[in-house]
């Protein structure tokens, strides 16, 4: 290990104080989606900025404008941009995190008050809203700064910080801020950034640390079928008219097979099969079909081949049918012929798929299949929203450093994972700064982010703090020796 022993010892010996500090952060109910809690999000920003300043980080709270929420015009909570270190011989790492949280109420099913930290010593679990998403990881960085400041140690790299308070509510204003700071180059807060590190996702399981190097994109569609002027009675019209539901169901049935093969022509164009190196990464993943089915709550894996299932989840495109708007959706029976209905589905994308290209193929295919149905109904195909997929180069020093740090702290080789869902800020940093982005999670798969009884294992918090610091030393080590 290249991190100094006194750093890791400091983290261990100050664990109780760090846990108390996490309790302070959890106690501020910084729910970005609740207008009545906006003051608390701002309070959390002030609290975090003060901590950063105490350890020598220069900061600025950047206003992000206003939003409409629950009929009110509210100031968006500020983002905090920060800087420590300006040594041209050192690499510069940009750290991202968010200090807002999801809503939580005790009577949603929490065993304890969500905004009062509950440290269960016998299980080693720290319960509380935000414990793992994303206050724990942010405080991991504070712990690293605290150790270096208190011990009088120089940081091995220059650090830049970007902390936001709107992640759980669509990161409003953040894309523009990142773009404008990136455009400022050496005059901006992101001057000299060589790589980005984000701790805002989770291990694949409860056992093995991981590095995340890919995210699937998304393209969401709505197919609307119409014909009658209003909903019709199936007794009176059934058998005499073309029914929008019959046509919609036929179209939706032609999008994907039961085992997940997408039927839209050209949708797989350009997707490279996994090479032996990539296949090896999946072989090495500490994740079984039982793990997946346990998390899903049912024996529903679409293959008995572990690697097929893992690749289906992480690196292959997928298509899911979500539902129908405008049809009968209640309990019981209604003999309606719905007049106008919209089927919703989305594709998860992987490189080189883009929402633009996939949209052309979806629209052409749905229209051509609709023509074959030969009805007198009307069709509309709409692209609703989307985002590009992202895959990072895991041979970059940024990932190499994280791997070595993981091995040093956890004595385990990390899993290399790709997330099936999206973390949009990842792509914003990659696109605007043109540097390698590393997702370095702190928490475990069962932490319950967004759910009741959210927790962070104390070992993840303390080892995770060591991991973040050690990662910085490994960055310095690798890039100096290179």
Options 74, 179, 236, 263; binder of a second copy; rule CB under 8 A = 236
Q: Does 375 bind a second copy (CB under 8 A)?
A: yes
Q: How far apart are CA 46 and CA 24, in angstroms?
A: 13
In whole angstroms, the minimum distance from the beta carbon of 87 to a second copy comes to 39
411 binds a second copy (CB under 8 A): no
Say whether residue 268 binds a second copy (CB under 8 A).
no
Determine, following the binding rule CB under 8 A, whether residue 242 of this chain makes contact with a second copy: yes
Measured distance CA(290)–CA(301) in Å, rounded: 9
Q: By the 8 A CB rule, do 211 and 414 touch? A: yes
- Two structure tokens written together for 237: 């019209």
Q: Does 249 bind a second copy (CB under 8 A)?
A: yes
What distances in angstroms separate CA 195 from CA 201, 236, 245, 429, one per listed residue?
18, 66, 50, 9
Measured between alpha carbons, how far is 315 from 274 in angstroms, rounded to an integer? 9
Separation CA 221–CA 132 (nearest Å) = 32
Instruction: Find the part of the chain contacting a second copy (CB under 8 A) among 61-69, 115-123, 269-277, 296-304.
Output: 296-304
Of positions 70, 275, 331, 434, contacts a second copy by CB under 8 A: 331
- The Cα 259–Cα 342 span in angstroms is 24
351 binds a second copy (CB under 8 A): no
Sign of CA dihedral 333, 335, 338, 342: positive
Q: Which of 88, 299, 481, 482 binds a second copy (CB under 8 A)?
A: 299
Q: For residue 100, indicate whether it is catalytic.
A: yes
C-beta closer to a second copy: residue 313 or 361? 313
Tell me how far, at minimum, the Cβ of 287 lies from a second copy, in Å.
11
Catalytic residue among 40, 49, 100, 243: 100
The residue from 104, 218, 285, 362 that contacts a second copy (CB under 8 A) is 218
Report, in Å, the least distance between residue 449 CB and a second copy. Answer: 11
In sequence order, the β-bridge partners of residue 479 are: none
Measure CA of the first residue to CA of the last residue in the chain; give whole Å: 17
Give the count of residues interacting with a second copy (CB under 8 A). 82
For residue 354, the minimal CB distance to a second copy (Å) is 17
* 135 contacts a second copy (rule: CB under 8 A): no
Spatial separation of the C-alpha atoms in residues 311 and 298, rounded to whole Å: 19
What span, in angstroms and rounded, lies between the C-alpha atoms of 317 and 303?
16
Report, in Å, the least distance between residue 267 CB and a second copy: 13
Instruction: Indicate the burial class of 29 (C-beta count within 10 angstroms; 0-12, 13-18, 19 or more).
Output: buried
Rounded to a whole number of angstroms, the minimum distance from the CB of residue 156 to a second copy is: 35
Instruction: Please say if 167 is a catalytic residue.
Output: yes
Q: Which is nearer to a second copy, 140 or 217 (CB)?
A: 217
Q: Cβ distance 202 to 450 under 8 Å?
A: no
Q: Which stretch binds a second copy (CB under 8 A): 68-76, 191-199, 372-380, 399-407?
A: 372-380
318 binds a second copy (CB under 8 A): yes
- Measured CA angle at 333 (ends 331, 336), to 5 deg: 115
Q: Is 317 one of the binding residues for a second copy (CB under 8 A)?
A: yes
Residue 106 or residue 322: which is nearer to a second copy going by CB?
A: 322
Tokens representing 218 are: 């998304």
Catalytic residue from among 167, 200, 454, 477? 167
Residue 135 burial (CB count, 10 A): 29
Among 6, 106, 280, 334, binds a second copy (CB under 8 A): 334
């Amino acid at each position: 290990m290249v991190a100094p022993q006194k750093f890791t010892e400091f983290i261990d010996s100050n664990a109780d104080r760090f846990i108390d500090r996490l309790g302070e952060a959890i106690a501020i109910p910084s729910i970005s989606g609740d207008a009545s809690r906006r003051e608390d999000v701002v309070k959390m920003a002030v609290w975090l900025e003060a901590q950063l300043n105490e350890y020598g980080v220069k900061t600025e709270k950047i206003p992000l404008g206003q939003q409409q929420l629950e009929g009110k015009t509210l100031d968006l909570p500020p983002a905090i941009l920060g800087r420590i270190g300006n040594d041209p011989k050192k690499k510069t790492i940009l750290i991202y995190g968010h200090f807002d949280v999801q809503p939580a109420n005790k009577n949603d099913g929490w065993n304890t008050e969500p905004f009062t930290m509950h440290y269960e010593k016998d299980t080693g679990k720290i319960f509380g809203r935000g414990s793992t998403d994303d206050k724990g990881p942010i405080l991991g960085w504070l712990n690293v700064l605290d150790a270096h400041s208190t011990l009088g140690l120089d940081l091995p790299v220059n650090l830049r910080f970007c902390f936001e308070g709107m992640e759980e509510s669509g990161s409003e204003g953040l894309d523009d801020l990142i773009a404008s700071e990136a455009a400022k180059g050496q005059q901006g807060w992101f001057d000299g950034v060589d790589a980005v590190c984000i701790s805002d996702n989770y291990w694949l399981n409860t056992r093995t640390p991981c590095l995340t190097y890919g995210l699937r994109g998304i393209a969401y569609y709505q197919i609307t079928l119409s014909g009658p002027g209003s909903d019709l009675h199936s007794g009176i019209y059934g058998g005499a008219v073309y029914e929008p539901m019959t046509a919609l169901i036929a179209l939706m049935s032609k999008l994907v097979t039961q085992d997940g093969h997408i039927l839209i022509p050209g949708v797989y164009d350009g997707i490279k099969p996994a090479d032996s190196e990539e296949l090896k990464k999946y072989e090495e993943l500490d994740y079984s079909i039982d793990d997946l089915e346990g998390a899903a709550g049912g024996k529903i894996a679409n293959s008995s081949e572990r690697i097929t299932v893992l690749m289906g989840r992480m690196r292959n495109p997928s298509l899911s049918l979500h539902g129908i708007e405008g049809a009968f959706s209640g309990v019981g029976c209604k003999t309606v012929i719905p007049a106008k209905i919209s089927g919703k589905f989305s594709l998860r994308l992987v490189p080189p798929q883009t929402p633009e290209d996939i949209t052309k193929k979806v629209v052409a295919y749905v229209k051509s299949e609709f023509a074959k149905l030969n009805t007198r109904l009307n069709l509309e195909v709409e692209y609703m929203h989307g985002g590009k997929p992202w895959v990072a180069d895991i041979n970059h020093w940024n990932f190499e450093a994280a791997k070595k740090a993981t091995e040093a702290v956890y004595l385990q080789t990390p899993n290399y994972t790709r997330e099936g869902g999206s973390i949009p800020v990842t792509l914003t940093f990659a696109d605007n700064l043109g540097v390698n982005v590393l997702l370095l999670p702190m928490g475990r798969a069962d932490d319950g982010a967004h759910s009741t009884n959210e927790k962070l294992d104390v070992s993840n918090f303390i080892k995770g703090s060591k991991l973040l610091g050690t990662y910085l030393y490994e960055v310095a080590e690798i890039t100096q020796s290179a």
